[in-house]
Amino acid sequence: MLEDRIHTFTATKIVQQIRDKKLNAEKVARACLNRISERESGVQAWEYIDPALVIRQAQALDQGPFKGALHGVPVGIKDIIDTADMPTTYGTPIHAGHQPNKDAACVALTRRAGGIILGKTVSTEFANRYPGKTMHPMDPSRTPGGSSSGSSAAVGDGMVPLAIGTQTSGSTIRPAAYNGCFGYRPTWGDFRMTGVMEAAGSFDTLGLIARSIEDIALYRHVLLGEMSEAQAVRNCQPPRVGVCRTQFWDEADHATKSAIESCAQAMAKAGATVTDLRLSADFDSIDETHQRVSSFEFSRNRAWELDNHFDEISQTLRENRLRHGAECRFEQYQDARKHCEDLRLQLDDVFRDFDVILTPSAPGVAPIGLNATGSHSFSSIWTACHTPSMTLPLFSGDNALPIGVQLVTKRDTDDYLFAVSSWTCGLFER
């Protein structure tokens, strides 16, 4: 029956089905709510959900004219993003029950385009490393990744077709890869961050998680304020590919290394020029540099919580990122920021010889254990350089768990990232 499959539909398909009057928003909303009811106890992807509010949103859409590019599409919103009709707790009991008085810009744009705010998805504590309650949908003994834990698990488990996360290190790319989703981090600065908790403003971006590249392209244009209904992903010629294993290559497991090699081989067979890319030694310290900048900013952004609710902050967060940030002097912070900018310029030069970089999304499949969210080592380098990136769920490892491969393009070439990502996925279609 159609009703049994609605929760698996992509956002693009939902919009088309509603426009063709084969579906309505209420049916879609109820299908997602039913899936959540069936699965939430074992996944725990949601921090807040009000089914009655969801149905009211859907019914209002069904009673009015076709509203926009996301008409009737349920969307999950990470719980560090303000919503006027739902609490925002920032992943901490310090802010339990906190009710913003207005929507974040991304939420307002989602509603304007006809999206249904399904609920707030679990975030790690202040979008950092201390885990939330969410478990991996395929294996509850494993982490779903973080900090966009709930958003990635909810999309991966078929609870919602679209979700917003954020990324300061690897908080969209890594969990999306773990949960078998498409995950997209844009060029830094493209999306408005009004109403989103600031972790480290030098790197913070929204991140989009979905079941298809087309869905992410559609949502991207909504968040850019461009309300056209369909965003065709353009074609591209076989690209010049740089296979960048980075200094963290030894962290990758055998299945991840094999996935990168298989992807590179498929690209070459399809006509791409594929070359090993070794970044200069200047990049070897970028993880440390990224951590210095982000920790400095994060510790100062959390000044009120530190001064007023110190004991309610996890020991992990206090003794690591907050302490490191507090110990960092302003002069060191300035030097680290300058180093990041120098590396961005170097990477711009690298892209004179390459169109796209192929690299792991994470060291491997989602690791066993719920006391950590996995390594961000294969993401933080690109986050620090402000480049757009996409993880593609093309491979699997142990126990059929997902493995993503990551594509990275030059700053401000996001449209090309979508094109080359679509081209790459086409190589593996059967």
What is the full per-residue pLDDT of the chain (430 aa) written as tens digits? Answer: 567 799 999 999 999 999 999 999 999 999 999 999 999 999 999 999 999 999 999 999 999 999 999 999 999 999 999 999 999 999 999 999 999 999 999 999 999 999 999 999 999 999 998 999 999 999 999 999 999 999 999 999 999 999 999 999 999 999 999 999 999 999 999 999 999 999 999 999 999 999 999 999 999 999 999 866 555 687 899 999 999 999 999 999 999 999 999 999 999 999 999 999 999 999 999 999 999 999 999 999 999 999 999 999 999 999 999 999 999 999 999 999 999 999 999 999 999 999 999 999 999 999 999 999 999 999 999 999 999 999 999 999 999 999 999 999 999 999 999 999 999 999 998 6
Task: Identify whether 299 is a catalytic site residue.
Answer: no
- What per-residue string of b and e applies to 352-372 under the rule 16 or more CB within 10 Å gives b? eebbbbbbbbbbbbbbeebee
Helix (H, G, I), strand (E, B) or coil at 136: strand
Residue 377 burial by Cβ neighbours in a 10 Å radius (0-12, 13-18, 19+): buried
Query: What pLDDT score does 232 carry?
Result: 67
Which among 13, 120, 123, 147 is annotated as catalytic?
A: 147
pLDDT for position 230? 54
Residues 406/385, Cβ–Cβ less than 8 Å: no
Q: Which of 169, 171, 202, 380 is catalytic?
A: 171
pLDDT of residue 2: 63
- Whether 78 is catalytic is yes
> For position 4, what pLDDT does the model report?
78
Which pLDDT score, from 0 to 100, does residue 329 have?
Answer: 98
Chain position carrying tokens 């699965």: 39
Residue indicated by tokens 């996890």: 314
Residue 396 bears catalytic tag: no
What pLDDT is recorded for position 430? 62
The pLDDT score that the predictor gives to residue 227 is: 60
* 283: its two tokens: 């990049």
- Residue-range domain boundaries for the chain: 2-223
Beta strands (DSSP E) in 267-311 are 273-276
pTM here is: 0.97
Residue 391 vs residues 30, 187, 212: alpha-carbon distances, Å: 29, 14, 11
Q: Which CATH number applies to 2-223?
A: 3.90.1300.10
Round to whole Å and give the CA distance between 304 and 307.
Answer: 5
Distant-in-sequence, close-in-space partners of 111: CB < 8 Å, separation ≥ 6: 103, 117
